Structure 1
């Protein structure tokens, strides 16, 4: 037993001794040359690149190994073009890991990374292949916390098809661990500038943030005029200026061989200066430019190895164009000098999707991404056609700042990237207008062509506008090639228009089969709330629910919706065809419609986007005091005009029939007729005193703009049967003439006159109601007259002439009258003297007044007085 213990102690002591000796040997063995060798090996293995270090390497060996690297340049081994640059790097390396034959970088801080990434297509597969999947992580390298500061990355997104270029400056990226399989917290922020594709990248003005991050960096023109000191490696003797960056195109191995053959041919060197901000910084800091000899100036884009051994989507920094003609490199010239990619030579990493036309440079990256996704699912979709999918926020070039924090998981083996508990914020400027974007998600994962997320919520707002925020959300969703599904999508929006505030909330489940070209919105729920103290006595609230089934192949949707409008139930069932310019066909039913609770439209321009043809049914129609029941009509919205044909509505024990037209400017016209309408029930509907009773028939024409009473005009021809005139007693008028009756009986309370039939022509204009050709008849009397009623002032002016038939031995009696005063309580003024004289002549009584004894009139004057001459 003792012997065993001794052997164990001896073995442990020997191991510790050997480890200590190795540690001491390694401690003295480490120097700048060994670090340079290790960096070269990792660069070649991981990025297929070699490095050039400008300056001494500083080492601090205790308590841990700290390596301070100066300016580092990376050159592609195949093309010998510069693919990236690091201003400085500080690495904290564990010495014990070196003893075990590995390199454990506990913390890495990289400052001033400058590189260009070329994304061949707008897909998650291409993004993954161009970044994580294109890096061969060394097996003996382990990286802990990684921090990037003050970095600059240029993204050529779909550069072969003339899309946009993004410059990311002041980039900061921090992760707790960096490896092919990692799950770590992260923090990211950057300032970006979107460059138009029709302008060369070098001619784009640098952002203010980029200028502040490198205050000593000269401009491109200044760098061109400065002398460049080049240090040649021992095996290289040629001078190589850096050429202006041009978008590169993925090429096939055959094109690579051709380009390599052309590259080895002697060419005349072309003097120029660096066009990238990274090289400008280096020129001012070190005044040295280490360039390999093989990088001769050439007129064609450099060939790129088709094997995934290059840096992660890094595009080699090409040489600049001649300084004398800086503006000569245009998009057309770049296309002329680049090799053409045949369809059969499409790289494996780029999905074979319908390419975007070069006519779409004005659309944004987000808009192109959505168009590309639709084009993948819908083969006959034209990505260049206008769409309403993306908001104006993403149209045209933008710039701004982006930041994000959360937890990130990356797996190169399983080919996915996942963000958890992540927040995203951005300030985007477009055409001088700022936009604010904020998003948060519990989880979102990108794996190949599939994207799924949980509890994703976002807000888009415009600080310089009075318009409210747009809130978007998804409880859960999954996007696959040709398929999208979510149990609940949410949209909320607030609109401010003067005193009116409109709130819109929409929620629905969604299942989309893009291959079958069908989309189903189930459990669709929408709520609209409109508050306007100036025009609405109460808030207008509408609740809508139902389902919408879209068939994109047939360009039609089946819709079944129901709910309530201002508390009144409604339903719509029908179809919507021609989704680009919707045409609705179906039946709309409203249990009740109170026009006083419906918001008024400033204009009717919304009819430009709607085409409706169907049945309209309203159970009860109310407008202030007016009320009608059981309205039925055929509703059409065509050619920017709303048309109600075959209107039938129950009104005051009768019916109103006709046709209504409403234009986009709010002008309306009604032509129709009334049948068997009770006047004593109709007038109270207009909040008027029922002065007339009876059953009315006739034609009616009205026109106006909106519901402004001053703009309403009309004309009618009406006939009243079994009429009653309230407020006057015609028999008392006759009795006053015949028997000298009391005037009080004529207009006493409850006084009325019965008429068998009446007719009149009525016109309305400028709030003046004119009644012409009034003719009322009964067995005992006949009345004609005309009136003018000022609706605004509530006054009336008119005249009548009444003839009473002979009764009980009394001959016919005639009397004229005028009406003045208030229309609700008019004043009647009768010509009693003339009526009595007329009656006297009919009775044969003398109407001459005998002169006095001292009256010296002639006989001829007396005769004229007798005959009323």
Structure 2
């Protein structure tokens, strides 16, 4: 028996020596370079591409069977001068005997230096599609098992010209290293490259490391151990950093699980900074559902003077088939710094559901913002043309805490502010806003109610009401969502401080009083100036217990008496002073506006001392006024400034107001005054003559009677 085993071993050894010798002889005597023309011609015939094997082909048997290629190039299809791919050096070494059992055991795969140019044309066709096509094999061969001990790839550059999307992408200095790559997994996987994209402008370095990958392709199971991946570079002009880590991640056809999955993201630039840290804890799921016990996001962001430091958390559910995300117990806590506000606290809770396939989002949040109660609910459908329904309720919003005051005007007139609402043409909104107190200097409003609806390119505010300026303000409005929008407003003000309103919104401080204003206005234009020039409509006003600032009409009547007594005509300028004013008990007026021109013909102002009527025009384009006031003394024992009624009785003085809104000029139209008061003077003379005749007649009668009784 021992002899049989001994001779068997001798025989086997002899066969091995014989086979090895034969293989060595073939390698020593066979020249693979002699086949290069045939190989190149075969590629040209089969693929219509030009293959160039410029470098020598080397074969080796020790320490393993291997082949080395260098300076290999492949052209585009039917374009011999256009290079598709080029390889500098490539080497593959493998064990010989396992090949007989259809098992490939590769000692090493090495690739040093390669260039690949990928193109997708405007029709969506790729320039490598012909290389991927395969003829159907009616009797497919069973899969070949393989085992690669070591892979080393470096200095690979891939350029992709996506003509259909109009952008370019590239991977440069691509490197890949792995140990023990088989159909069951790999060890020590390292991948790195520089990625560049033209739209959006992206230039980043990618790195991924994986200690262990276990695969079961039949069961579709993958186990990843200590996954570390990073992205670092530039997005446009901003710094971008991403770090993904998963200590243990299991993926299979039946599910996925991970104790912890983290993603740190940083986006930083001159105008903003966003630092976000994502955590998924106890992740589990299958091909249909994914769940995590905790989804936590820590956000620290700054932009345009606004900063937020928030923690967002909730259990997470994800429906894979419907691409639906559910955050059932959403909590948002932290603080916001905006404008003058310092760390305004945020404490909100509720839910958020997001369905990408259904294009539906709904959320409800309740809690406190800056210590004040806040409730928000929103429903959004059809993300391409969103239909938004929302309701916001707040106890108090102090916008002065969050919005920095506007910078002082430098005095230089810049271009008018553009008003382009065309971006809102597809807006579909039905919303309601209710705020107990809303502050934005100088506005301090209470009981704010706003209803807004937008659809088919028309923005409609059927109701807006609030209490401010000591009274009630209500309005309705519409706007077209166009580049040159048309806006209509129907305001109604009751018992408001008209001086505060006009000073704030029209920069006009010459009128005081409280009362009622309503109207119907329309403007259209692409900027603020065009809208001001186009304003049309009407306004009606009735004010009580107010004053006209800049002139004391009663005093002006008294001063004009002496001038008129000397029958002097012409115009006399009246000095305007902010300390002078004309009090009234009631003022009514109706205004007609047409293309920026405001006209009035029925001004009526009453007081215990005088009556004032007026008419004229104001031009909003040039911001000038031309107005005529006619003032007359009423029947009272004393006029303003102590002048007696006998001195001023029946006197009417026309006062002309001309000039800019900011500095109007006042003047007395004395010629008109003489003409208007001539009849009054004549009647006064007639009365004097009658009185004189009567007195003389009385004296004659008395005298005659005395003579009769002598």
Query: Shared fold by TM > 0.5?
Result: yes
Is the CA contact (8 Å cut-off) linking 1:670 and 1:702 kept in structure 2?
yes
SS at 1:581 equivalent: coil
Partner of 2:297: 523
Aligned to 1:248: 134
Q: Which residue of 1 aligns with 2:528?
A: 708
1:138-537 → structure 2 map (5 Å cutoff): 149-152=71-74, 169-172=85-88, 189-194=114-119, 247-248=133-134, 255-256=138-139, 305-309=140-144, 395=165, 402-409=172-179, 411-415=181-185, 419-420=189-190, 422-425=192-195, 437-443=203-209, 453-457=227-231, 468=237, 471=240, 473-476=242-245, 487-488=262-263, 490=265, 492=267, 505=274, 507=276, 509=278, 515-516=288-289, 523=297, 525=299, 529=303
Question: How many Å apart are 1:54 and its aligned residue?
Answer: 5.5
**1:711: how far off?**
1.9
Q: Secondary structure at the match of 1:711?
A: helix
Are 1:681 and 2:500 an aligned pair?
Answer: yes
Q: How far did 1:92 drift?
A: 5.3
| Counterparts in 2 of 1:794 and 1:491: CA distance versus 1, 3 Å | same
Question: 1:650 & 1:53 partners in 2: Cα distance?
Answer: 94
1:725-764 equivalent positions in 2, closer than 5 A: 725-736=548-559, 750-764=579-593
Measured against aligned partners, the alpha-carbon deviations of 1:147-186 in whole angstroms (never above 9, x if no partner) come to: xx5354999xxxxxxxxxx995014576899896889997
2:625 corresponds in structure 1 to: 796
Rounded to whole Å, the distance in 2 between the matches of 1:518 and 1:505 is: 27
**Taking CA–CA contacts closer than 8 Å with sequence separation of 6 or more, which of the two structures ends up with the larger relative contact order?**
1
2-structure distance, mates of 1:517, 1:23? 56
CA contact (8 A) 1:696 1:720 kept: yes
Could you say what the CA RMSD is over the residues aligned between the two structures, in angstroms? Answer: 6.0
Match of 1:720 among 513, 521, 543: 543
For 2:169 and 2:444, locate their aligned partners in 1 and report how far apart those are by CA, in whole Å. Answer: 57
Deviation at 1:777, TM superposition (A): 2.5
Asked whether the equivalents of residues 517 and 553 of structure 1 are also in contact (C-alpha less than 8 Å), the reply is no
Question: In the alignment, which residue of structure 1 is the partner of 2:327?
Answer: none
- After TM superposition, give the deviation of residue 451 of structure 1 in Å: 9.4
Match of residue 678, structure 2, among 837, 843, 847: 837
CA distance in 1, matches of 2:84, 2:223: 25
Whether contact under 8 Å (1:505, 1:528) holds in the other structure is yes
Distance 1:662 1:401, change over 3 A: same
- The alpha carbon displacement at 1:663 in A equals 2.8
Q: Secondary structure of 1:750's partner?
A: strand
Q: In the alignment, what sits opposite 2:465? A: 648
Question: Cα 1:310–1:758, aligned 2, differ >3 Å: closer, same or farther?
Answer: same
SS in 1 for 2:482: coil
- 1:748 Cα offset (Å): 6.2
Matches within 5 A, 1:771-850: 771-791=600-620, 793-808=622-637, 810=646, 811-823=649-661, 824-831=663-670, 832-834=673-675, 836-845=677-686
For structure 2, which runs of at least 5 residues remain unmatched after alignment? 1-13, 95-103, 148-158, 306-338, 408-415, 566-571, 638-644, 690-710
Equivalent in the alignment of 1:634 = 451
- Give CA deviations for 1:195-219 in whole Å, capped at 9, x if unaligned: 6698999xx799xxxxxxxxxxxxx
- Alpha-carbon spacing, 1:733–1:395, altered in 2? closer, same or farther (3 Å): closer
Mark the CA change 1:54 to 1:762 in structure 2 (over 3 Å): closer, same or farther.
same
1:518: how far off?
9.1
**Contact 1:90 / 1:109 at 8 angstroms: preserved in 2?**
yes
Q: More strand by proportion, 1 or 2?
A: 2
Note the alpha carbon deviations across 1:440-491, whole angstroms, 9 max, x for none. Answer: 1242687666697534316676xxxxx6579473533778768799543648
Q: Which residue of the partner structure matches residue 611 of structure 1? A: 428
Asked if 1 retains the 8 angstrom alpha-carbon contact of 2:600 and 2:617, the reply is yes
Which residue is equivalent to 1:549?
353
1:192–1:402 Cα contact (<8 Å) kept: no
Tell which deviates more after alignment, 404-413 or 469-478: 469-478
**Which residue of structure 2 aligns with residue 663 of structure 1?**
480
Deviation string for 1:763-784 (max 9, x for gaps)?
4566544344222233443322
CA distance 1:174–1:408, shift in 2 (3 Å): farther
Partner of 1:692: 511
Q: Secondary structure at the match of 1:788?
A: strand
Task: Tell me the alpha carbon deviations over residues 605-628 of structure 1, each in whole angstroms, 9 at most, x when there is no partner.
Answer: 4325643322235654658x7776
Count matched residues: 552
Q: How many Å separate the matches in 2 of 1:735 and 1:577?
A: 72
Distance 1:570 1:655, change over 3 A: same
Call closer, same or farther: CA 1:246–1:732 in 2, change over 3 Å.
Answer: closer
Deviation at 1:422, TM superposition (A): 1.8
| Residues in 2 aligned to 1:85 and 1:420: alpha-carbon distance in whole angstroms | 31
1:20-57 deviation per Cα after TM superposition (whole angstroms, max 9, x unaligned): x99999999875425579xxxxxxxxxxxxxx9462xx
Does structure 1 conserve the Cα–Cα contact (< 8 Å) formed by 2:51 and 2:75? no
Aligned to 2:579, the other structure's residue is in SS state coil
TM-superposed deviation, 1:392:
8.4
Tell me by how many angstroms 1:647 deviates.
0.7
Whether the 8 Å contact between 1:693 and 1:725 is mirrored in structure 2 is yes
